[in-house]
Chain A
Amino acid sequence: MLAKTYSAILQGVEGRLVQVEVDVSRGLPVFELVGLPDAAVRESRNRVRAAIKNSGYQFPLGRVTVNLSPAGLRKVGAGLDLPVALGILAAIGAFSKDTVTRIASFGELSLDGTVRAVVGILSKVEALGRASRWKAVYVPPANLMEAELSAGIRLQAATSLRDVVDGILAGCPASPGRKREPTLLAPASTGNVGDFADIWGQALAKRAMEIAAAGGHNVLLIGPPGVGKSMLASRMPGILPPLNRQEALEVTRIHSAVGVLQGGSPVTTRPFRAPHHTTTPVGLLGGGPEPRPGEITLAHRGVLFMDEFAEFRRDVIDGLRQPLEDGVVVLSRRSMSFRFPARVMLVAASNPCPCGQWGFADERCTCHAGARHRYRQRLYGPVTDRIDLQVRMSPPTAGEMHNGAVESSSDIRKRVVAARLRQRERWARQEALTNAEVPSGGLEAGCEVAASTVRLLRKLVETVGLSARGYHRLLRVSRTVADLDGCEGVEDRHVYEALHYRLENG
């Protein structure tokens, strides 16, 4: 009395196929579950027993052994309840064992047999592989919309255990009343994050954000409290190009695996994550004994906003270095390593000193020189060194405050999208999408700098004392300014503008 059925579990943010084997044999009554289950999986024994009984079936007497394979893979979460229940029912002959081996199912069971939603359904369904292998794939109704993003697999809504069993006995007909077309991702809007038109003044900072969005650069905003740093940062997703289908799927997979998906519907706007400055390296970068993605992965393809940048722990900031360069967080554990995507745009914001007034209203600054010095030291480290655009923001003047015509996010976004298109064509051979991603090696050759501008750059290296990295940063930002300008070559005026977005430190 052996039955096999299938499901999948999450490993990090990726799905893995799991075979559920059930053996019911004679002997003393016991229900055993083996194959590295975590506490939630082990507790599924109690849920499954009650759900089977309350759905009107007899839980088998004798020895019930459930094996989850591959046995070396840790099974986490409650999503295996439904396949375990179906395996048991098949093993006692409620329906054909041959059918159940061609069925994959997902779902947590409540004690009355209702199927509850699981996390990471998209990645799990994708782990099932070839569609032709399956007679039916049952997913919880609340997960159906997300699961349908995985093209090509025929899905059925599993309302309750009873419902699924009836469906299997009836030969797995498609659930009625649902269209089987792949779900289209909703047209991207700027989201409900607010508009650039809401912000008074701050022309330089807004322009810096536009350049950052266009070239994929990281930004550092420095200014006194209340000047609009957070407002600007939170509006950044609205001027970034809309997520394409591929990106939307990546973000949806991650958010689903972590369980932060809003209402079970796919993510269509760029994420904006603003972790608090007390966050730990695990909170920001991901980790833990069963590694979970951190904030930087939740911000994948969107904006990671770190307000009060100088207040973050040193190890947190230093931990950003590698993901910012590689776009991925790699965590190694005893038996395997986990890769969490982390291609983000970093927007860091900080006060110039602990009280925030230094450099803007020096007479109001209450900080000791020593405190200011320590603050600056924390602010300017190896990570700020890698931030291409650095802007000082001053409080708006009375004139700027009610200055009528301001551009909306969607106007800015149009320019950003056009500039990105130029970059993608230019850097196709370097396999980079934006100026910020191009390795320094091929940068100079590919930037198409006008001959006279080359002379200007050389002069700047001498007079301003640019470091090699500073030079490359200037070049990148100039290139993005030229792209926004619609110019093939980088000209003097682009370099002059780019010079605005660097602070004295670099």
Chain B
Amino acid sequence: MGRDAVDRGRAVERYVEAYLVRRGYEILARNFQSRFGEIDLVAEDGGVLAFIEVKYRGPQAYGSALESVSRRKRMRLVRTGRYYLAKTGTAKACRFDIVTVDNDSGRYLLRLYKNAFNLNDL
């Protein structure tokens, strides 16, 4: 992944963050890292803790962005999420949201999937 790609990724995450704030999310952490992986955004939405994965797909991508969150990626998110709960001592109901960003000929197309998967889907 080149520098450009990383920059574009960060740009997209900021764009998504602004969108979520407009939807009433309160952002608690960005790019939260553990030795298992990274969670793009941690936010609170109506008393529920949401771990948010932002998935950007270029115009030539094959398949939907949602499909590209693999089982392995989900495992990483869950482990990191568990670590977040332990580290911050949070005791709330949690869910995993996925925001897909598709590049529709230059325009960003955002889709928010609340509670996109749970631990049974691993």
Contact = CB atoms under 8 A, between A and B. Distances in A.
A27 B90 CA distance: 9
B95 interface: yes
Interface string B101-122: 0000000000000010011100
Interface in A98-157: none
28 contacts: A26-B91, A26-B93, A26-B94, A27-B85, A27-B91, A27-B93, A27-B94, A28-B81, A28-B82, A28-B85, A28-B94, A28-B118, A28-B119, A29-B93, A29-B94, A29-B96, A29-B115, A29-B118, A30-B118, A30-B120, A31-B118, A31-B120, A45-B120, A60-B93, A61-B48, A61-B94, A62-B92, A62-B94
Contacts of A26: 91-94
B78 interface: yes
Interface of B: 48, 78, 81-82, 85, 91-96, 115, 118-120
Contacts of A29: 93-96, 115, 118-119
Nearest to A58: B115
Residue from B81, B94, B115 whose CB has the most chain A CB atoms within 10 Å: B94
Contacts of A60: 93
Interface of A: 26-31, 45, 60-62
A31 B115 CA distance: 13
A59 to B, nearest CB: 8
B96 to A, nearest CB: 7
Residue from B81, B91, B119 whose CB has the most chain A CB atoms within 10 Å: B119
B80 to A, nearest CB: 11
Contact of A61 (B78, B82, B91, B93): B93
A62 B48 CA distance: 9
A29 B115 CA distance: 9
A179 to B, nearest CB: 43
B77 to A, nearest CB: 10
A61 B45 CA distance: 12
Contacts of B82: 28
A140 B54 CA distance: 44
A28 B78 CA distance: 8
Given A28-B78, A28-B82, A62 B119 contact: no
Nearest to B95: A61
